[in-house]
Structure 1
């Protein structure tokens, strides 16, 4: 991508006005997106994005610039430009670059760049047909295909010099059921840190039918009652609630400035003792996995909460200075246009001892949420609200009728304390997470859990 001598000169130039750390991030990304609606390809877009980011630290100040000019003169000028923001201080001596090679556990069988679009479209058509034929109430199906190959080079004045190739593939299926004036969507979007083999081996009978089933089931569902109930949240996409309400509050982006309810709480009981919360970048081929983060640190497994006790945070290089704690390999960014900051990878609640059957049968009356929708959280207070895509009543220890319009309202730390049962059926769900450093692929996960009491917003008065 860039030769070592040029990189060394750029890093030195960036330090020329008194910075104490410099970094270069080089990215070459190939992307392919195909959108199909009702069996017809509506859009097909392939592209390449290449650029370089240059970052400088001086104490607790950070400066960042990016360029698309990879010539020697262009890069040195970009380094000089960002260095002008640094005032005072003598020039430090950077460490010699030492190439670090990290063996990626994410083996790619079929690089997406080697596959013709016709082969990709064939899989999409099959998904469309399965979802459309599920029920006569399915009026529209949209299938979106995505793949990317991202090649990065990261080097800094501390001697780091490493490269990585990241390949991801995803297929999102949305089905819309309609009857009279009523319409209801259903969605499923599996993704992985894999090549086209992931798409070609997808169990479309499951994923496409599931998207259609959600739409049809919820079309005729009754309005959800409002009130305070025990709530059972199923595995896989159920983990989004703790990604938002807990995970963001454990990122150094918030913690370092004391803008998190979890700041200064290491060693304290912040959750029920049945809760262990983990961020693991090393899970083989998972959507949010990384071999190295976007600062050149090796991806790792970080136990954040263990048996209810807060053990640590997700920390990037810059915030490690503020917090006086080591980086946890959590520096991530959408692309070279963004400076990295602390972000999640694959976050999940670890499996517990209960079976799903035991959790449901031990709940006399409550709400069962099978799939979560979108939501929002205030990381400073931990207050959140989330829509539920598919929910049911639990009556006399059994799942009964579907209900729609449910919203879960609460406070992250309080909810963590109220988790009283954790299942043994861990599942992960692929998604995208937006924050200061842009939108990045992440996994949310958990086994089935029960929260002893949650506020449920609905359009029907509770019992």
Structure 2
């Protein structure tokens, strides 16, 4: 991607004015995006993004520069400019590139760039047709297809010199159902850190029908009652609730600055004993996985909470300096235009001992949240809110009827302590996370869980 001698020159130039650490991040990224509405192509884009990011530390200070002009003269020029911003006495640091290159653990068979456009459109048409034919009330089907081949190289003055190839594909299916002037939508978005062989492992028509089913169900649903009640959250992307409500507050980005509700609580009981929270970027071929993170560290399984006890944080290199702790393979960025910081990968509540059926049967009255749509959190306070794309009332230990317009409102610290049942049907969904280092791919998951009391927003009092 860049000649090793040029990388070496950049790193020496980076330390020329007193920095004590320097890093080069090189990215060569190929992306294809296609959108269809009703089976007709709405837009299509295919492109390449190629650039270099250069980061320099001096103690707890850092500076980051990036460019898509990869000429040696320009790279050395901007590096020296950045280096002058971290002024101190120059250090005599020996650079060693002899570290073993980590093999790519997330293999792919069908590189998207080698697959004809007609094949990708055929997959989209199959999803569209399945959704359209589900019911006459289906008024519109929008399908967005994405694939990406991202090649990165990370080198730094501590001897890291590693490459990672990340091949991803995903299809987002959004279906609208309309009747008597009312409209509701359903959405699914399967994806993986795989090539086009991913679509041989799933039934894309079934996903199309599932999106249509959600839209139809919500169209004829009553409005959700408001109030405090037990909430059962189904397995899969329901884990987004813990990604938002707890995960962001466990990232060193906020912990190191002391603005997280979980700062300085290592070893303390912060959750119910049935809660074990894990972040694992090494899970084979999962949407949020990487071979190495964007600082060149091998990804790993990080136990954040174990049986209610806070065991760890997600730590990047710079915040690790601030916390005097090692990086955990959690340094991530959207592209070379962003400086990395601590971010989640695949974050999930681990399996418990109850079945989904037992959890529902033990809930006299409450809300069953089948699909969480979106949410937000304030890491400093842990306060969050989520909207639900599919939900049901539970009555007498059984699913009673669908309801729409439901929101979940609460606090991350409280919800962790209020989880009183955890299922044994772990599933991880796919999504995106937007934060200080840009938009990144994440997995979020859990088994079915029950929170003994949550504030549910709706249109009427329960």
Q: Same fold (TM over 0.5)?
A: yes
Are residue 14 (structure 1) and residue 19 (structure 2) matched? no
Structure 1 residue 5: Cα displacement: 1.1
Deviation per residue, 1:399-452 (Å, 9 max, x gap): 010001111000001000000000000011100001110000000000000000
Structure 1 residue 454: Cα displacement: 0.3
Partner of 2:323: 323
CA distance in 2, matches of 1:157, 1:305: 33
Structure 1 residue 376: Cα displacement: 1.1
Partner of 2:28: 28
Deviation per residue, 1:78-99 (Å, 9 max, x gap): 1111112112223231332124
Partner of 1:151: 151
User: Helix, strand or coil: the match of 1:213?
Assistant: helix
CA distance in 2, matches of 1:455, 1:417: 15
Are residue 299 (structure 1) and residue 299 (structure 2) matched? yes
Structure 1 residue 276: Cα displacement: 0.1
Quick check: 2:137–2:178 contact (8 Å CA) kept in 1?
yes
Quick check: 1:169–1:199 contact (8 Å CA) kept in 2?
no
Matches within 5 A, 1:37-186: 37-186=37-186
Quick check: 1:23–1:155 contact (8 Å CA) kept in 2?
yes
Partner of 1:218: 218
Partner of 1:259: 259
User: Helix, strand or coil: the match of 1:100?
Assistant: coil
Bigger drift between 92-101 and 79-88 goes to 92-101
Quick check: 2:232–2:449 contact (8 Å CA) kept in 1?
yes
Q: Any runs of at least 4 consecutive aligned residues in structure 1 with deviations exceeding 4 A, and if so which?
A: none
Structure 1 residue 201: Cα displacement: 3.9
Quick check: 1:170–1:199 contact (8 Å CA) kept in 2?
no
CA distance in 2, matches of 1:103, 1:79: 30
Partner of 2:426: 426
Bigger drift between 95-104 and 228-237 goes to 95-104
Q: Gapped runs of 5+ residues in structure 1?
A: none
Matches within 5 A, 1:336-375: 336-375=336-375
Structure 1 residue 200: Cα displacement: 4.3
What is the aligned-residue RMSD (CA, Å)? 0.8
Structure 1 residue 395: Cα displacement: 0.4
User: Helix, strand or coil: the match of 2:314?
Assistant: coil
CA distance in 1, matches of 2:289, 2:94: 31
Bigger drift between 139-148 and 73-82 goes to 73-82
Bigger drift between 415-424 and 91-100 goes to 91-100
User: Helix, strand or coil: the match of 1:16?
Assistant: coil
Structure 1 residue 180: Cα displacement: 2.0
CA distance in 1, matches of 2:431, 2:236: 11
Bigger drift between 94-103 and 36-45 goes to 94-103
CA distance in 1, matches of 2:374, 2:282: 26
Deviation per residue, 1:221-248 (Å, 9 max, x gap): 0010000000000011100010000000
Bigger drift between 218-227 and 100-109 goes to 100-109
Q: Size of the alignment, in residue pairs? A: 462
Partner of 1:194: 194
CA distance in 2, matches of 1:33, 1:94: 44
CA distance in 1, matches of 2:204, 2:331: 34
Partner of 2:410: 410
CA distance in 1, matches of 2:2, 2:289: 25
Quick check: 2:130–2:206 contact (8 Å CA) kept in 1?
no
CA distance in 1, matches of 2:11, 2:423: 50
Deviation per residue, 1:342-363 (Å, 9 max, x gap): 0000000000000000000000
CA distance in 1, matches of 2:451, 2:94: 52
Deviation per residue, 1:271-302 (Å, 9 max, x gap): 00000000001111000001100000000000
Deviation per residue, 1:329-350 (Å, 9 max, x gap): 1000000000000000000000
Using structure 2 for the length normalisation, give the TM-score.
0.99
CA distance in 2, matches of 1:281, 1:229: 34
Structure 1 residue 199: Cα displacement: 2.7
Structure 1 residue 72: Cα displacement: 1.3
CA distance in 1, matches of 2:94, 2:230: 57
Partner of 1:286: 286
Quick check: 2:126–2:205 contact (8 Å CA) kept in 1?
no
Quick check: 1:18–1:92 contact (8 Å CA) kept in 2?
no
Partner of 1:380: 380
Deviation per residue, 1:364-395 (Å, 9 max, x gap): 00000000011111100000111011000100
CA distance in 2, matches of 1:92, 1:257: 31
